[in-house]
Amino acid sequence: MTSSHPSPRGDTDDDPTLPLHYKPPRNSTSSGPDLSSLPNTICSSSSSNNTGVFRAGLSNAIRRKMSAAKDKRSALVRGCGPHRPTLLLLLLLLALLTLGYTYALTDMSALTTSRTPLSPPQPHPNALPSVPLNRTKVALLIELRPLRTLIPILLHYMATVPEDWPFHLMHSAENNHLLTQSTALQKYIKSGKLKTQQLPAEIQLRNGGDVSEFLTRRWVWNQLHQHAEHIFFFQLDAMICSNSDQSIDSFLIYDWIGAPWPHLPAIRGGNGGFSMRRKSRLLRCLDKQTWTRGQSPEDVWYSECLATFPDARMPTFEEGKLWAIEGSESDRYIGIHKPFAGVRVSTHFDFCPEAAMLFID
């Protein structure tokens, strides 16, 4: 008689109720032993007693195995088994790995979707040039009047003069508001390219005599940067011409150069309203002599003084015309002083149209 309770494979080896000569078939596909292969003596009716023992033992073995497997599954589900800490650690590690993998996929997706090559940042169109300032040079403007052309003319000079030139503006409380309200000028002030200096209220430059007296003071030149040697001095009745093929740096060899005077051809030097000066030579003249009221204007006074030095470097009349003109004509020059004097105005406008600003009140 064949048992109705098949046993899982492997359980029969430990069951004492089975005969010693019983071997389960190796090629059986069933989950339990093939009881039909048992010897006939076990399955025969004459061995009913042994059969009962076998059946009872087999049933007990199956129940014990099934109960143990059920207990293991229940322990894992409840998390109360002996491996609960290990299980929790594995779950935590799995969560961390999943999170890291998701982040990596997101990052790689951002890189692969952006096919535009990276390029260095471009400077702002209004950004100032990065050329270092040369403190041995300085462009100086002294203007105390609240003229509406002050800012436009100053900005034109700053755009035309070589980039490494710093600027120094001496002004008054009367025109200070023009400086603070100009956005275009403020960026030069903040960058350090333009230094503004408000002069004391007692300084008044009402006429040419006041200007000459002021410019023959040592105090004025000591206000400039300590390393400043080459001084490009200009006033608002002079204009630098952007059409010129020359640079003011080409005239640094002179102790003084300005527009030559047609009525004073023998004096080397030139008009001071648009001039290049060497500070050390100016101070040397101030050590030698003192300007007083009634003497020549400061530019004539300095030109005559500098010419007395044996090592003086002063321009000829023709060299002066390459620098600037005043009441004379030249085919090639950098600046023009008082274009409304002497020569036809239209002649200046053809080469230096910026000079039109000098006619604005």
Least confident of 73-77, 110-114, 148-152, 271-275: 110-114
pLDDT of 340 reads 67
pTM over the 0.75 mark: no
> Contact at 8 Å (CB) between 193 and 163?
no
Statement: residue 104 has pLDDT above 80: no
The CA–CA distances, whole Å, from 215 to 102, 201, 280 equal 76, 17, 14
* Domains of the chain and any CATH numbers: 137-357 (3.90.550)
Q: Give the mean model confidence (pLDDT) for residues 141-165.
A: 97
CB under 8 Å to 179, separation ≥6 — which residues? 151, 169, 171, 185, 186, 189, 196
β-pairing verdict for 167-171 and 194-198 = parallel
Q: CA nearest 157: which of 11, 274, 67?
A: 274
CA-CA distance, 315 to 141, in Å (whole number)? 23
Q: CA nearest 270: which of 300, 249, 290, 248?
A: 300
Encode pLDDT of 19-45 as tens digits: 444 455 554 444 444 444 444 444 444
pLDDT of 359 reads 86
DSSP 57: H
CA-CA distance, 4 to 246, in Å (whole number)? 118
CA-CA distance, 85 to 91, in Å (whole number)? 10
Q: SS3 for 32?
A: coil
Encode pLDDT of 299-322 as tens digits: 999 999 999 999 999 999 999 999
pLDDT: which is higher, 198 or 91: 198
Q: What is the DSSP string of 300-322?
A: HHHHHHHTTSTT-----HHHHHH
